[in-house]
Chain A
């Protein structure tokens, strides 16, 4: 296995992860799936960071009683990834707690409905009527219609 294949596989893995993450955010309307998407995206980015200085067969840069290993891996990205993962965790925790609050407030996790309700709320407390274009037919799925009656009643 010459060095090229490993790199190709690893890099494509990193980009694959990132693309799946982005796809998750873009396509799905469900809140929790979006948060999963962010997590995957973070993982992909961290993997990319790690791969930036990856060398085949390099060992950890620890000098055991005076003997310097032949090929040492660069420790800096390792440290960076640590902090990046910590930050990622922080954000995801906050996102989940917010999702719970939104679900309790709006009774739904569908991003389109949340956006519609948010728009209604802003218009009410600003005292202006709903902008006409927001009733676009996009929100026509069955459950949203049910939610409409429920919130309308």
Chain B
């Protein structure tokens, strides 16, 4: 059962050993990374069916619950851990010059990501979160251009600020309950954290962890970073890493914080995120920045989905997250060669027809055209919101629908440019085969989702159900009754 720990340990180990392996043979250094990721993915997949029945808790270092660090793995967490490893494998950085550095950073990212997904302790989450942030600084700045340094700096300022806030939030939680183990917190939260202090802790942690999840006030870094970083890195950041940050917030919402005001804060920030993201994307003139703004909008939709109380909210958020997981990386991969100004894309469909067709498919699924999964995800979000029959939720539905029509407008402006009859002056660079292959693989995933819609929906429903019942969480982590954490 401790194979699961290998998912975290193995990538970290190889990351640090990489430079020494490189001294032995550069070929081994080049291929060891993907191999290790493949191994971790296989481990994860082997454990997956067994988790379907009952989630699994591991005590690190043998210390029993509230003191030691527990590792909690249910299908919900493992799904995102696997997404992290497979995502890094698919989006392996191909930058020519310092291949060694970027592959070790990628391995670190995979390791810390799966660690973050699986950890069951609040401070442990904070540590892994910080590790992941530092690694992403390395990846972004790795490009070497002065623009990447400046954007990394802006990113660092905001996420440093966010980290401090998260720490303050954790301090408040610890002061109130005396423990940081999520299971015990789940037990103590109803009476200890249900007051103002609990709500303040939640807001602080929301903003802290929201930096990576592109939450509205703290996503100012997104346009610059995605415009300067290489599109594989931005694909990783926008596609996978932002989902992990969202995973933490979902864990907190389900297990610890149950106040209704928490949901309204999420809803308001979600609406602002969608509105600002889509409107800014409407005027963007280069593809990278347009995709950055549209990812802000999409994550805004996820926050709105999260703000729906109960299982329906989690199920809707999960559906939108998985759909976005497939969609955004493949769009960023297409932006690898088409990154420049949209005007210059005129007639690009003639040089690379497959890529253009794929872009149309992705655009259709993003705006939610029926048979494609985007539509079902959007439907899942809107239906419970209308059932709640509150004015704020009606506003959210209106904003989402208006944003969808804006999306249709600017995405199809790009499509029109692609299929324009008279080509632009400069010749268009053809996509690297690896990029195109990965993008097609992810696009294929979308089309497969169209056909096996019903089983996929049931699978996601069961994952969401398993994630939301708090009692099994507490039972698996610490079967015997936990005494209060404080040592008097």
A interface vs B, CB < 8 Å? 18, 21-22, 25, 31, 34, 38, 41-42, 44-46, 48-49, 51-53, 61, 72, 74, 76-77, 80, 83-84, 87, 90-91, 94-95, 98-99, 101-102, 105-106, 114-115, 117-118, 121-122, 125-128
Partner of A53, one of B137, B174, B340: B174
Residues of the A chain whose Cβ atoms lie less than 8 Å from the Cβ of B285: 126, 128
Stretch of B22-30, B45-53, B155-163, B384-392 at the chain-chain interface: B155-163
* Bound form: Cα–Cα A51–B285 in Å: 50
* Apart from A91-B130, A106-B146, A122-B289, 17 more pairs, CB < 8 Å: A18-B164, A45-B168, A53-B174, A76-B174, A76-B180, A87-B130, A98-B137, A101-B141, A101-B149, A114-B150, A114-B153, A118-B147, A121-B145, A121-B147, A122-B224, A126-B341, A127-B286
Using A34-B157, A91-B163, A126-B286 as known contacts, say yes or no to A102 and B137 having CB atoms under 8 A apart. no
Minimum C-beta distance from A107 to chain B (A) = 10
Nearest neighbor of B227 in chain A, beta-carbon distance: A122
Using A74-B487, A94-B137, A126-B288 as known contacts, say yes or no to A38 and B164 having CB atoms under 8 A apart. yes
* Bound form: Cα–Cα A89–B422 in Å: 56
- The 11 listed contacts between A and B (C-beta, < 8 Å) are A21-B164, A44-B168, A48-B171, A49-B167, A49-B170, A53-B174, A76-B67, A83-B123, A101-B149, A117-B146, A122-B224
Would you call A118 and B487 a contact (CB within 8 A)? no
Partner of A102, one of B150, B160, B339: B150
Q: Which 9 A-B pairs have the closest CB atoms?
A: A105-B146, A52-B175, A126-B286, A45-B167, A49-B171, A128-B341, A41-B164, A121-B147, A127-B341
Residues of the B chain whose Cβ atoms lie less than 8 Å from the Cβ of A95: 153, 156-157, 160
Using A52-B172, A126-B227 as known contacts, say yes or no to A98 and B160 having CB atoms under 8 A apart. no
Query: Which residues, 120 to 157 on B, are CB-close (under 8 Å) to A?
Result: 123, 127, 130, 133-134, 137, 141, 145-147, 149-154, 156-157
**B contact residues, range:** 35 or more
* Bound form: Cα–Cα A77–B179 in Å: 10
Nearest neighbor of B342 in chain A, beta-carbon distance: A128
Nearest neighbor of B129 in chain A, beta-carbon distance: A87
Minimum C-beta distance from A4 to chain B (A) = 16
* Bound form: Cα–Cα A151–B142 in Å: 25
Minimum C-beta distance from A14 to chain B (A) = 8
Q: Does B178 contact A (CB under 8 A)?
A: yes
Q: Digitize B44-76: 1 where CB-to-A-CB distance is under 8 Å, 0 elsewhere.
A: 000000000000000000000001000000000
* Bound form: Cα–Cα A118–B150 in Å: 7
Instruction: Give the most central of B150, B154, B157, B343: most A CB within 10 Å.
Output: B150
* Bound form: Cα–Cα A99–B168 in Å: 26
Minimum C-beta distance from B9 to chain A (A) = 18
Residues of the B chain whose Cβ atoms lie less than 8 Å from the Cβ of A118: 147, 150-151, 154, 224, 228
Q: Does B344 contact A (CB under 8 A)?
A: yes
* Bound form: Cα–Cα A115–B67 in Å: 46
Residues of the B chain whose Cβ atoms lie less than 8 Å from the Cβ of A31: 153
Partner of A72, one of B137, B161, B487: B487
Nearest neighbor of B285 in chain A, beta-carbon distance: A128
* Bound form: Cα–Cα A99–B156 in Å: 11
Query: Which residues, 162 to 188 on B, are CB-close (under 8 Å) to A?
Result: 163-165, 167-168, 170-172, 174-175, 178, 180
Would you call B174 and A22 a contact (CB within 8 A)? no
* Bound form: Cα–Cα A127–B345 in Å: 11
Minimum C-beta distance from B8 to chain A (A) = 17
Would you call B147 and A126 a contact (CB within 8 A)? no
Would you call A42 and B146 a contact (CB within 8 A)? no
Would you call A44 and B164 a contact (CB within 8 A)? yes
Would you call A83 and B127 a contact (CB within 8 A)? yes
Nearest neighbor of B179 in chain A, beta-carbon distance: A76
Q: Digitize B321-357: 1 where CB-to-A-CB distance is under 8 Å, 0 elsewhere.
A: 0000000000000000001110110000000000000
